[in-house]
């Protein structure tokens, strides 16, 4: 089976099952990020667990590259280059986390009160590994192509931005 870039949405009736499945899903080959969303009995949404493979790598890589470029300017250049590179790498990670958070909000709207949702992004060759985890913990799996989900999240972001501009009376 060819590799597919997939978003998984696994619903659970209880938080303990979602948390256990989350810990297992992080170990599945090809999983790039995962999060658990919970909706309380009074309707409040929380994200008690989230994980991104390689988080921190952009910040460290930016710092190393900046430090190497700074070698051209001597010891002070190394320090300034490291600092600037780290800041740029950190900014890239912050944007990635913001995009992920917005996606979580879009797909949490159908989450029932008291329910939990495990969301994972992965490149998978077959559904067996994740399906077995979901079955073991009583979850219901929905798979969507990652590109399709990304398009829906971007459309929701654009609609929200337009609504804010319209509310303020800004021109588009």
Stronger pLDDT, 112 or 16, i.e. the higher one: 16
| Structural domain count of the chain | 1
Report the pLDDT value the prediction gives residue 50, as an integer from 0 to 100. Answer: 81
Q: How confident is the model at residue 104 (pLDDT cuts 50, 70, 90)?
A: low
For 103, residues 6+ apart whose C-beta sits below 8 A from its C-beta are: 119, 149, 150, 153
Domain residues for the domain of 27 are 4-168
pLDDT over threshold 50, residue 69: no
Report the pLDDT value the prediction gives residue 84, as an integer from 0 to 100. Answer: 52
In 3D, which of 49, 22, 45 has the Cα closest to residue 113? 45
First to last CA, the chain: 45
pLDDT tens figures, 138-162: 999 999 888 887 777 777 777 777 8
pLDDT over threshold 50, residue 67: no
Q: Model pTM?
A: 0.67
Chain mean pLDDT for the chain: 74
H-helix or E-strand containing 63?
helix 57-70
Report the pLDDT value the prediction gives residue 30, as an integer from 0 to 100. Answer: 92
DSSP 112: P
The percent of residues in the chain predicted with pLDDT above 90, rounded, is 23
Q: Which two tokens stand for residue 164?
A: 């804010």
pLDDT tens figures, 17-59: 999 999 999 999 999 888 888 888 888 878 888 888 875 545 4
């Amino acid at each position: 089976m060819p590799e597919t870039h997939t978003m998984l949405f696994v619903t659970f009736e209880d938080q303990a099952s979602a948390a256990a499945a989350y810990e297992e899903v992080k170990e599945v080959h090809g999983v790039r990020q995962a999060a658990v969303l919970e909706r309380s009995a009074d309707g409040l949404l929380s994200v008690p667990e989230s994980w991104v493979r390689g988080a921190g790598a952009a910040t460290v890589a930016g710092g190393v590259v900046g430090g190497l470029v700074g070698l051209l300017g001597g010891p002070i250049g190394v320090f300034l280059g490291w600092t600037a590179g780290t800041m740029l790498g950190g900014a890239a990670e912050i944007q990635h986390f913001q995009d992920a958070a917005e996606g979580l909000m879009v797909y949490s709207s159908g989450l029932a009160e008291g329910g939990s949702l495990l969301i994972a992004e992965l490149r998978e060759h077959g559904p067996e590994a994740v399906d077995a985890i979901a079955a073991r913990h009583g979850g219901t799996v929905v798979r969507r192509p990652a590109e399709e989900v990304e398009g829906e999240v971007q459309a929701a972001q654009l609609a929200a931005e337009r609504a804010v501009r319209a509310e303020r009376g800004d021109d588009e």
